[in-house]
Amino acid sequence: MSKSTLKFCCIALLTVAGAQAAPWVKGYVVAFYEPAYRFGGRADYSRGTEIEPGVDCPRGSTVHFAVPKQVAQSLSLVRWRSPKEVEEIANPPATGLSRDPAGVYFHTWRAASAFRGYNREIETYINPFAAEDPGQPQVTSRIGEGFNLDGKVKPGDFVSPDGEKGIDNQLYRAWGCDAPWRGANGNGTLVLRSNDKMVEGLYTIVLRISGNKDPMNDDDVTVEIGYSPDQIVKDARGNVGVDYSYRLLHSQQYSKLKARVKDGVVETEQADIHMPQIAWFENQTRDAFFRQGKIRVAPNADGTAAGLVGGYRDFRDLYTQNAFAQSGGVQGVREHEDHVALYYALRRNADGMFNPKTGRYDGISSAYRMKLVPVFVVEPERPMDIPSRVSEARRRQAFDLTAGATIKAVDTLVVQAVPSGSGELTATDGIEIGVGGVPIRGRGGRGSRGNPVADEKAKGPSGRP
């Protein structure tokens, strides 16, 4: 080989090495965001419009507040209601309330569901521990997505779809059979609602991944995730558009993590993560705080990517976020879920964030999927906070007051009154579940006068965590 040829080869190798070591950056916007619940149903299942229960939920999805028989079963746990009263609430008459049978059921059931404590004056959803557990079907499968957050392989852990053991995702265990979060291909009602609201402008999440070596293999990578004030842009077909620019705010819903990329898959170190949480109303838009969290991003052939974020979430945040978007009764009857059952399922499966004051865990391991579309993620021209809607200030305050009362209740097991301004005060809208269980309008009722309960030490069969 001549000296000139050798010199040319060396220059070529240096050029390739230099190109591989050049700084690189990738940006994504979250186009779909859902809990990492594994459906596992049969592809050939067909029975009308029903969804196959799936191998992970052999008892099927929840049917709380779906049919009179089930409502009667739940209300029969309330010791101060007579069998006659339970039957008449489960099958309410149309007279005096509405000519629409569906409306009669909806309004009556949501009013009755709000008062199921060990005495008549305890509001259920702020004080779920004071009601009997109606039971929540839980996931029985061993397959689940997520991360090994504690570095251990325990008997109750999941195995990932690709065979990794020790996966911690107890939120899936607790809530994976809850009907509105469940369905094939992300078609649970709350999954669809929250993603529709996100894409239509309620909030935006972006990721920025940068490194200094080969974007396929780099041990010095930075991952940033957080809130963008820019609304998601859709293309002519209604899909999330590619290659648009989004600002990334360094606000309270922002995290910067060290990571590495191997064979194109990015995985961060384990650290606390702040980012926007799932929401379908503005009063829910808050920080999703993942303790000891991790993020993984796997590229797809078309330039999109599959994201997974996990960590320990405060179960009290998860409960209040789901229950008080409107009121517990409205949410429960509309979505066929019972927040008392969901509360007990969270309590049973909490596995992180030990609270020495209560002697219980406040956190539950969790994982969420993200579908990522390539975009440009840029810095704002000047520092700015997450914008707030002045018109929503009252609802946000009501949500915060209600959540605060609930957290105090479940921490102390002391019954809390409904705070002034809470949506739970008007949850019954003047409907009184009177003697015999007949709904009556215009007689004050708990909906108009609120919950007069002062703080009272929990007692009775349900006064337990």
| Within-domain flag for 460 | no
| CB contact burial 283-293 (16+ within 10 A = b; e otherwise) | bbbbbbbbbbb
State the residue range of the domain holding 361: 30-62+136-387
**Cβ distance 115 to 122 under 8 Å?**
yes
Write the pLDDT tens digit of every residue in 37-83: 977 666 666 655 555 567 788 877 888 998 899 999 999 999 999 89
Cα distance between residue 369 and residue 388, in whole Å: 26
* End-to-end CA separation in angstroms for the chain: 80
95 pLDDT tier (thresholds 50, 70, 90): low
| Within-domain flag for 14 | no
| Within-domain flag for 271 | yes
Cα distance between residue 408 and residue 401, in whole Å: 11
pLDDT for 448 equals 33
| Within-domain flag for 232 | yes
Number of domains in the chain: 1
More confident residue, 325 or 296: 296
| Within-domain flag for 461 | no
What average pLDDT does range 425-437 have in this prediction? Answer: 53
Say yes or no to pLDDT of 273 above 80: yes
Q: What pTM was computed for the model?
A: 0.86
Listed residue (343, 259, 262, 252) closest to 293, CA to CA: 259
| Within-domain flag for 423 | no
Average pLDDT for the chain: 85
pLDDT for 407 equals 96
| Within-domain flag for 48 | yes
Per DSSP, helices labelled H in 390-459 are 393-412, 445-449
pLDDT for 231 equals 97
Residues of the chain with pLDDT > 70, as a percent, come to 81
What average pLDDT does range 106-129 have in this prediction? Answer: 90
| Within-domain flag for 411 | no
Say yes or no to pLDDT of 263 above 50: yes
